[in-house]
Amino acid sequence: QENPVVLITYYSQSGNTEKLAQAVAKGAKSVPEVEVKLLPIDQVGESDVLEASAIIVGSPVYNANVAPAIQEFINSWPFEGSPMKNKIGAAFSTGGGISIGEELVMLNILHSMLIYGMIVVGGEETETAFGASAVTGEGPFGEGEMDDLFLKKGFGLGSRVAKLVVSFHNPPDWK
Ligand SMILES: Cc1cc2nc3c(=O)[nH]c(=O)nc-3n(C[C@H](O)[C@H](O)[C@H](O)COP(=O)(O)O)c2cc1C
């Protein structure tokens, strides 16, 4: 039996969300028995979406909303016959400021996943209850390297989703 696929996909104009996506992928790859795919959103086809057992979507904060490309991507998922039902979903975001949209963006992604019948989860810790987020342009969190604190959150999100996928893939005997 093939390993279940965890798809991590993101939109990133200036590289911040991509950095966080790489940390999420690292976390997912730390779990054996999953295949991890890390792709920018414009390189994801419908077959990637359909074959994935889990999808982790990342967006920058744009005026307290997801980037339009992210919403278009989610809107393009197949709906008839509920092929997305019971896939695991999770979210991450990066925003320039502290608390000016990161949570809204993650929750918006999760809301949309719920419409498709997906099972949505946050990260490993209370600090990633809604997913992993990073501040990229305020106070000590300026341009350049992403703070380790945020990369760890991304890692934890990826590893939690991958662990869940493995346990879903090998269901216990519930009888
Ligand atoms: C059009 C636009 C709107 C933005 N609006 C917000 C905002 O409402 N809140 C915020 O925290 N950051 C905002 N930002 C900053 C980005 O979210 C931040 O720089 C993010 O890390 C960019 O991600 P990227 O490098 O992956 O493109 C905005 C940036 C742009 C270009």
| HSE-CB for 84 with a 13 A CA cutoff | 21
- Does ligand 1 come within 6 angstroms of the Cβ of 61? yes
Query: Three-state DSSP class for 89?
Result: strand
Question: What's the pLDDT tens digit per position in 107-149?
Answer: 999 999 999 999 999 999 999 999 999 999 998 898 778 999 9
In a domain, 175, yes or no: no
In a domain, 174, yes or no: no
Which residue is closest in CA terms to ligand 1's atom 29?
62
- Does ligand 1 come within 6 angstroms of the Cβ of 99? no
pLDDT class for 24, splitting at 50, 70, 90? very high
CATH number at residue 153: 3.40.50.360
The residue type at 14: S
Number of domains in the chain: 1
Q: Above 90 in pLDDT, residue 169?
A: no
Tell me which residue range forms the domain holding 25: 5-169
Q: How far is CA 79 from CA 10, 20, 53, 113, 151, in A?
A: 21, 29, 16, 11, 33
pTM of the model: 0.96
Task: Return d(Cα 162, Cα 30) in angstroms, integer.
Answer: 9
CB contact at 8 A, 88 and 121: yes
